[in-house]
């Protein structure tokens, strides 16, 4: 019985990491990328997202609650998993270890980012270009955001590979090799989007 529950929780953890949390990450990166078009471009995109109907409901049940489960159960996996990269050194063993490390980094980053933006917005601050410009004007915060964004993207892209395997989409060794190249491509493409957005604010 406990084994079935563990299997279900891991499958749910994997699914929520892609849908909806992963899709939200991609959408968030795209909206932030509007900063490359200037202050007005970003503010218009951010205002559109803020104006969505049922925004509080969507944020709570489509973003925060799935993210909370994924984060808590992910910490359980991270601190109970037996990493063997130093012993075996296979590519996938390293990816397994980096997935756990990037997950912890991402959790710290997301918690801080939510505090600096959504929580401050609840106290009356406006989430706009100027807010991000002020945050990223600090060199430490800029590099903290760079590391956090790249960690989040890696965690999503590498987690996507695991999702394909655990849900039976990529079963054969060949399909898993192809999936590796696809997810590496996704990581590189989204990292370019994320870094370009951050540099646009400074």
Handedness of CA 182, 188, 194, 196 (dihedral sign): negative
Pull the structure tokens for residue 139.
Answer: 């060199």
pLDDT number for residue 147: 98
The span from the CA of 120 to the CA of 34, in Å, is 22
Residue 126 domain boundaries: 2-200
Q: Which residues of 59-75 are buried (b: 16+ CB within 10 A; e: fewer)?
A: eeebbeebbebbbebbe
Reduce the DSSP state of residue 128 to 3 states and report it: coil
Nearest alpha carbon to residue 160 among 65, 26, 60, 6: 26
**Is the predicted pLDDT of residue 109 greater than 60, yes or no?**
yes
pLDDT number for residue 1: 56
Q: Confirm if 156 and 14 have CB atoms less than 8 A apart.
A: no
CA distances from 115 to 32, 108, 110, 112, 118 (A): 17, 11, 8, 5, 6
Provide the number of structural domains found in the chain.
Answer: 1
84 confidence band (pLDDT: 50, 70, 90): low
Instruction: Tell me the residue length of the chain.
Output: 202
The CATH number of the domain holding residue 143 is 1.20.1300.10
The span from the CA of 155 to the CA of 180, in Å, is 13
pLDDT number for residue 98: 93
Pull the structure tokens for residue 182.
Answer: 């696809």
- Tell me which of 57-61, 67-71, 180-184, 193-197 is least confident: 57-61
85 confidence band (pLDDT: 50, 70, 90): low
The mean pLDDT of 86-110, rounded to a whole number, is 86
pTM: 0.93
Give pLDDT tens digits for 139-163.
Answer: 999 999 999 999 999 999 999 999 9
The mean pLDDT of 30-55, rounded to a whole number, is 93
Give pLDDT tens digits for 4-33.
Answer: 888 889 999 999 999 999 999 999 999 999
């Amino acid at each position: 019985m406990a084994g079935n529950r563990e299997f279900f929780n891991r499958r749910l953890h994997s699914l929520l990491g892609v849908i909806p949390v992963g899709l939200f990450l991609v959408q968030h990166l795209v909206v932030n990328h509007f900063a490359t078009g200037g202050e007005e471009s970003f503010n218009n995109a951010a205002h559109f997202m803020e104006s969505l109907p049922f925004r509080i409901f969507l944020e709570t049940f489509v973003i925060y609650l799935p993210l909370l489960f994924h984060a808590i159960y992910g910490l359980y996996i991270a601190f109970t998993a037996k990493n063997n990269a130093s012993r075996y050194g296979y590519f996938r063993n390293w990816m397994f270890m980096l997935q756990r490390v990037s997950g912890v980094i991402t959790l710290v980053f997301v918690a801080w980012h939510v505090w600096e933006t959504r929580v401050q917005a609840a106290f009356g601050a406006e989430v706009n270009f100027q807010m991000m410009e002020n945050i990223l004007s600090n060199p430490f915060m800029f590099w903290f955001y760079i590391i956090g964004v790249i960690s989040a993207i890696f965690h999503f892209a590498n987690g996507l590979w695991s999702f394909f395997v655990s849900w039976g989409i990529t079963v054969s060794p060949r399909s898993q090799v192809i999936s590796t190249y696809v997810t590496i491509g996704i990581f590189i493409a989204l990292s370019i989007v994320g870094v370009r957005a951050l540099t646009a604010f400074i």
